[in-house]
Copies of this chain bind each other. A is one copy, B any other.
C-alpha cells in the first residue's frame, strides 16, 4: 500500500451484501471513506453496523459486492459473482495489518494482563524489541488514562477499563484505518471526552476512522460525515450538520433522533 496520496478513497464499498442464513444483514451498501476522514455509523440496534465494520476487515466473509482498501479487494481473491475464493491466511493478515479494530465486546485476551494485551502485537507483529514495546504499550494505556491498572487481568477490570484496554491495544498499532465499534459505550462522559480527544488527534495525524456509535453528541462533534443504516440498508450519508440539523430531510432519521433530542436537553 504505502503513502501514495491520490484522490482515490481509502475504503471503497460497492454493493456490499451479507446474509446470515435467511437473514439479510446488509443489503447493497455503497459507501466511500476518504483518507483522514472520520465517518460515523449510526442506526437502530440490529441495523447491521457491526456487521458492516466486520465486513471491512473480512471478519465476516461478505457474500455480495466488494470492499476495497486502497484499491485492493479485501478478503476475496477476485471480484465478481460468487462463488469466490478467499485469500490465503497470510495475504489476509497483510491486509488486516493496515486496519485496526475495537470490538463492541472488547474481545480482550483474558489470560494476558492489560499491558500484555497491548504489547503483544507490538512485539510479534511490529517486531519491536520487548522493552520498547512495553514503553509504547504503557504510553498507549496512559493515553486512555489506565496506567495504574496495567498489571490487572481483564476479569479484574471494570467495564470501562476493559474498553479502554481494547482501545489502547488498537491505537498502539498505528494502523492507517481504524474501525471503532461503539468505543465509548462503557465510558463515563469525562472519559468519553478524553477518548474523543485522542481520536481527534489521531484524525489530525491522518488516520482514517470508521466509528459506530450511539452517542449522537459524539457523532456530531467528531464526524466528517455520518452514515445512517437501517435494516441493513444505507439510508443516508451526509455531513453531521445535515443529519443533526433541526429537521433533516429523511423522516426516518428524524424519528430516530427525536427521543434523543428530547432527552438530552437538560
Residues of chain A touching chain B, judged by Cβ–Cβ distance below 8 Å, are: 20, 42-47, 49-50, 104-105, 149, 156-161, 164, 181-182, 185-193, 196, 214, 216-218, 220-221, 244, 255-264, 266
* Complex: A192 Cα to B192 Cα, angstroms: 18
Looking at the assembled complex, report how far the CB atom of A40 sits from the nearest CB atom of chain B, in whole angstroms.
13
Residues of B within 8 A of A164 (CB): 45
Q: Are the C-beta atoms of A45 and B259 separated by less than 8 Å?
A: no
Contact of A50 among B20, B149, B159, B260 (CB under 8 A): B159
* Complex: A20 Cα to B196 Cα, angstroms: 31
Residues of B within 8 A of A47 (CB): 188
Contact of A259 among B43, B185, B193, B258 (CB under 8 A): B193
Q: Are the C-beta atoms of A158 and B50 separated by less than 8 Å?
A: yes
Known: A45-B158, A50-B159, A266-B244. A188 touches B214 (CB 8 A): yes
Residues of B within 8 A of A255 (CB): 190
Contact of A45 among B186, B214, B258 (CB under 8 A): B186
Residues of B within 8 A of A157 (CB): 46
Subset of 14 A-B contacts with CB under 8 Å: A42-B188, A46-B158, A49-B158, A50-B159, A104-B159, A104-B186, A159-B182, A182-B185, A188-B214, A189-B259, A189-B263, A190-B255, A216-B266, A261-B266
* Complex: A109 Cα to B188 Cα, angstroms: 27
Residues of B within 8 A of A186 (CB): 45, 104, 182, 185, 214
Looking at the assembled complex, report how far the CB atom of A164 sits from the nearest CB atom of chain B, in whole angstroms.
7
Residue of B nearest to A42 (CB): B188
Contact of A264 among B50, B191, B217 (CB under 8 A): B217
Residues of B within 8 A of A262 (CB): 193
* Complex: A26 Cα to B165 Cα, angstroms: 23
Q: Are the C-beta atoms of B193 and A214 separated by less than 8 Å?
A: no
Q: Are the C-beta atoms of A214 and B196 separated by less than 8 Å?
A: no
* Complex: A161 Cα to B255 Cα, angstroms: 20
Instruction: Please indicate which of the listed interface residues A43, A161, A181, A256 has the most CB atoms of chain B within 10 Å of its own CB.
Output: A256
Residues of B within 8 A of A196 (CB): 259, 263
Residues of B within 8 A of A263 (CB): 189, 192-193, 196, 217-218, 220-221
Residue of B nearest to A103 (CB): B159
* Complex: A192 Cα to B257 Cα, angstroms: 11
* Complex: A55 Cα to B46 Cα, angstroms: 33
* Complex: A104 Cα to B188 Cα, angstroms: 13
